[in-house]
Structure 1
Amino acid sequence: MTDGTDAEHYIEVAEETEIGGDDATATVRRIRTPKGERLEVRAGDDVLRADALGLESLSWQDLEVFEDFLGHEYDLAARSESAADDEIDCEFTLSNEYADIVVRSVESPDGDRLVIEAPKKHFSVRVDAEGLAGLAAQDTSIFSEFLETPHGPGGHAH
């Protein structure tokens, strides 16, 4: 599901965008590895790589999961509202045999956001730079925990 190797010469960067905020900046890249496409989130020295299935499982998590990542109260609700006047900076898809994900970097009136959408499951999450920094610091085992409900919070396929 994830690829944590440091063999950069085996990686091709297909897309790259930056999500900036007051307290953090995260670089988000779509990369191609010998094991398939991954989303790479970098913030400082932290790097997390996830495939489409892992990202799909992130899309249906309660927003409070970012409080766990950051270790403090985090009012993501105020930061996650979709706005009609968002401007899309970058958009790409990640796919594998199990999931399809659309990733968008947007500029909103409230700042930069990364939108991770699972269109077939009808779930999405909007994250700012601080939330992405918290995500980048996580171990890839979080996706195994998320996949304990493989069809989303309702527990069944849509």
Structure 2
Amino acid sequence: MDKIRDWLYIGSLRDTQNLAALEESGISAVLQLAGASPQKGIVSYLLPVEDGEPLAASVLREGLSFVADQRQKNKRVLIACAAGVSRSATFAVAALKEAEQIPLLDALRMLVAAHPETLPNPILWRSLCDFYSESVALVEMVRICRPRNIPGAGE
């Protein structure tokens, strides 16, 4: 589990099962994208999202609405999926974009700086780009997430 902002964390299903770590981080709300793991005293919202499937705009709005509502209530929110790599990253990028009114790539850079495992599934990334009407080539996303794997990215 990694802190992105004071109000926003990203992690895995395993992180949602560790009540002591959630409490230590002050997390009081969890957007669960891969499985339910309710904890006493933590507001949990299960929004099943399939990795590798197009993300419906209504589903993205639903998740972002939960995150925004919890943030407005001054709650720290953990966005979690199975591994904390793709689905949670997709929603965390969107949450940062919404909260800070920044382009997707800037939000992605911030997320990767805090959570280097970040690698949204290409189909989820495309769904995000379509939702925000931002034309970002897949190679640009990968260049940010895995710069060592793209020739010329480290130059």
**TM tier, smaller:** under 0.3
Q: Considering fraction of residues, name the structure with more strand.
A: 1
Q: Considering fraction of residues, name the structure with more helix.
A: 2
| TM-score, length-scaled by structure 2 | 0.27
| TM-score, length-scaled by structure 1 | 0.26
